[in-house]
Chain A
């Protein structure tokens, strides 16, 4: 095994691993500060923050020969016998000088800068900078330049790491951003008439190590130290990007990508990033409404009564059809199927409406936005297959209802966008009992006997299986608004289970009952688990 020596400590790396000094040092628990280097982008070694002392150890004699000059850690490959020293006076002095040089022209407007609190310039200055400032303070203001519909640039705050420029060239492949002028006059800009307008533009804000690139959607909404972070999965499409939901007092403020080499690497698309606003839409359904038979009014029913009355009415209605929405988590879908079968042993289970818009959109950096705008079709299909021998979808359900095959239907939806028109919904009007569970009012919900509110993606807990069969487990980031029981809680109570909804318990139960979902039985890592692994092993 190749061995790298980091600050006197031997670190073994894989025989075929291609790592730079920053990555190896991180394994030794040593953080080498860096601005311009990012694991997802090419190396430019321009910021000079990661300068370290390196050398080689002779394998035969064990003699260490050091290089006379400092080298950038990001650009120096670590191989067998590489010696990395990060804590000498020379390295520390170099870091302090880089910090000082960067701060000469940096406006000290941390108090109004959105990045304050998660800014690498702040963090590194605190850790590696000098206590005294030797230059004059510049004006308390940064020029602002509009670079696109989602991103704004604070020109003077920029430290010219060019991460954003490389991102648009290498990952999004759109090359909108560029460096104008030279030397100390360098600035990030766009060509007139070609703004930063692509589906991945929000990522440049995450990449920016300082407060130069600001997200217009988040600008001045909240200081970052007030935000609480919960690991989540994006519900925008079937790619199922790993994300972090940042929230405060049950209000979501922004979504950020979470590193997951199997799914989204370091990125997420703007559709997902800004696709949380429906959570706080005042038009959301916020109470369980039962149609009052005398007119079109609805009475609000207490949730504790909903569980019993719903069971009563559905069991008295006759043949039951259930649409299991691909917005539901695996656990919720399973409990819904179990609930339906406990009401009517012959209940027909259908995979709910799968919204599709356009076609898959791929980017040069290997990122794909899926056309299927729901996060859990594969998971719901797998769950329905546990109960039904034949897989039937939404169109089959609509046809069957039109043909009068059913007397009652339970339609789960939870789609953030309008998904059904009057003509499709019309046949459902003849049913004796129609239960619709959705985020917003719709032509279908208008016909419903029971109109139940659904939970948004950040309010759910459970497992989603993405288009590539990867199951990711997450907890609810925020509580559902007052008056809303997330589906998991409703089904848990309708099944007569005690205590709070516990996704892990349901998950274990699913894993035990199914060989195709057996991988869910164990501890699931943050990056998720590929459900096909067990199937490959058994075949």
Chain B
């Protein structure tokens, strides 16, 4: 977009009022914020000795998982929409014809380079079948780069590991589950549960 684009509305900056020009009132206002944080409750923790609490797992963006359907198969249909949406190009999928009659296509291999990932959650948003989700697992470590490329089995195992603590988000949201996790203050979706 060029500065001359007609879609841009240019606004004049408002002239400074008396309080702005006096400088001191705004200075005190800023200082009061500093002072308030000095006495308020601390939010930092001594990680890893103390584990931080995840406010709302439904909106937390940690390690990925690949969900399974009711029959225990990978839910993914290999549509590549996550790989398309991914701004870091960290998702690599090899699609093939599925061996099951009710599905046309499934991922033969599915890998995410967790080192390259920026945890933006676009893959989860793009997924049309709720197959890829971000869990609330936040400590992601490995001894080599290869180890940090999560393949299909590993991503499915993340699902097996986390499915009890964190049920599939689409189902949770459909059941109005957002309210049970509604610890995030002022989260507008708290009341909008079940919009699916």
Contact = CB atoms under 8 A, between A and B. Distances in A.
A226 B85 CA distance: 12
A141 interface: yes
Contacts of B189: none
Contact of B77 (A111, A142, A221): A111
Nearest to B96: A220
A169 interface: no
Nearest to B128: A111
Interface size class of B (residues with CB under 8 A): 10 to 19
A220 B84 contact: no
A141 B98 CA distance: 13
Contacts of B128: 111
Contact of B104 (A144, A221, A223, A226): A144
A226 B84 CA distance: 8
B84 A112 contact: no
A219 B96 CA distance: 8
Contact of A220 (B81, B102, B105, B129): B105
Contact of B78 (A109, A141, A220): A220
B97 A219 contact: yes
Contacts of B158: none
Given A219-B97, A220-B95, A112 B81 contact: no
Contacts of B105: 112, 220
B80 A223 contact: yes
A318 B23 CA distance: 93
Interface in A312-331: none
B97 A111 contact: no
Nearest to B81: A111
B79 interface: yes
A112 B77 contact: yes
A contacts with B: majority SS: loop
Interface residues of A, number: 12
B17 to A, nearest CB: 46
A141 B104 CA distance: 8
Nearest to A214: B104
Contacts of A220: 78, 95-97, 105
| Residue from B80, B97, B103 having most chain A Cβ neighbours under 10 A | B80
Interface in B72-125: 77-81, 84, 95-97, 102-105
Contacts of A225: 84
A142 B101 CA distance: 11
B81 to A, nearest CB: 6
Interface in A219-239: 219-221, 223, 225-226
Given A219-B97, A220-B97, A109 B104 contact: yes
Contacts of A226: 80, 84
Contact of B84 (A219, A221, A223): A223
Nearest to A223: B80
Nearest to A154: B104
Interface in B25-76: none
B150 to A, nearest CB: 21
B143 to A, nearest CB: 29
Contacts of A141: 102-104
Contacts of B96: 220
Given A111-B128, A144-B104, A220-B97, 5 more contacts: A111-B81, A112-B104, A220-B105, A221-B95, A226-B84
21 contacts: A109-B104, A111-B77, A111-B128, A111-B129, A112-B77, A112-B78, A112-B79, A112-B104, A141-B102, A141-B103, A141-B104, A142-B104, A144-B104, A219-B97, A220-B95, A220-B96, A220-B97, A221-B95, A223-B79, A223-B80, A223-B84
The 4 closest A-B pairs by CB, nearest first: A111-B79, A220-B95, A223-B80, A112-B105
